[in-house]
Amino acid sequence: MTVPSSPGRPRVQSRRVRSVAVVTLSDPDHRNVLSEPLIQDLDEALTKAESDDSVRAVVLTAEGPAFCAGAQLSALEAAASGHFDDVQRVYDGFLRVLRSPLPTIAAVNGPAVGAGLNLALACDIRLAGESATFDSRFARLHLHPGGGHTWLLTKVVGPALAAHACLFGDVWTAQQALAHGLVSAIYRDDDLVDAAISMGNRLEGHEKEFVLTLTRTLRASAQTTHHADALEAETRAQRWSVTRETFVQHVQALRARISSKR
């Protein structure tokens, strides 16, 4: 991805809370649209988190009332003039999240619209604040969805509900998103990010390579058609995990606790 450096204040802020990298879209005046500077800053924040041996998970959230309003109108207007590269760079933003080897938790604090909904869908888990809404928006602009939007949404909510959102323009509140399986839980807006961080830090005691391996297996299993293929992949990963010192130590500790109760 080649985009110009962002001048002035970064469009993405990052901080670490124990074993969690909190990555915050920070362009609230523009509703955190996926501009080129924001996309570059997001890439840099994720690269930093992935290279930190102490990080086990990423929480992705946003500053201001919106999670992400999607693509800039200028990118869509350029596409209408035959210049589609700007739209493809928008894809780079959420696909960078999708391709991160770390487990990702979206803390959706407000409207997630169009490509902003793709950004939430790119995460492994989605938590919603009470103010969150989920809006495909593409069809209302007479714009066909892009970036794998139909696939991502169908995988999460199923084909009928994906049609409701993509074709008929349904906009879902946090409660509706929970009922549809789009989000795992709803929190008060003020508690949302802390809840996501707390979830991510449940991985703190795990070896990083174990977290990456299990995350990779979960994602692959979601695309695997046959149980035999999943069984083979899991067996290979489990055979690896039983050789790790962390596993041996935990089994020994468990045996000692059982023996002490006899």
pLDDT at 122 over 70: yes
Closest-CA residue to 199 (of 123, 255, 140, 261) = 123
pLDDT 10s digits, 140-164: 999 999 999 999 999 999 999 999 9
Paired tokens of 73: 């109108």
Residue 138 CB coordination number (10 Å): 22
Paired tokens of 76: 């869509």
Residue 130 CB coordination number (10 Å): 15
pLDDT 10s digits, 205-231: 999 999 999 999 999 999 999 999 999
Q: What is the DSSP string of 115-172?
A: HHHHHHHTSSEEEEETT-EEE--TGGGT----TTHHHHHHHHH-HHHHHHHHTS--EE
pLDDT 10s digits, 66-112: 999 998 777 777 777 776 787 888 888 999 999 999 999 999 999 99
* Predicted pLDDT at 7: 55
pTM of the model: 0.93
Q: How confident is the model at residue 61 (pLDDT cuts 50, 70, 90)?
A: very high
Q: Would you say the C-alpha torsion 210, 214, 220, 225 has a positive or negative sign?
A: positive
Q: Number of C-alpha atoms within 13 angstroms, CB side, residue 137? A: 16
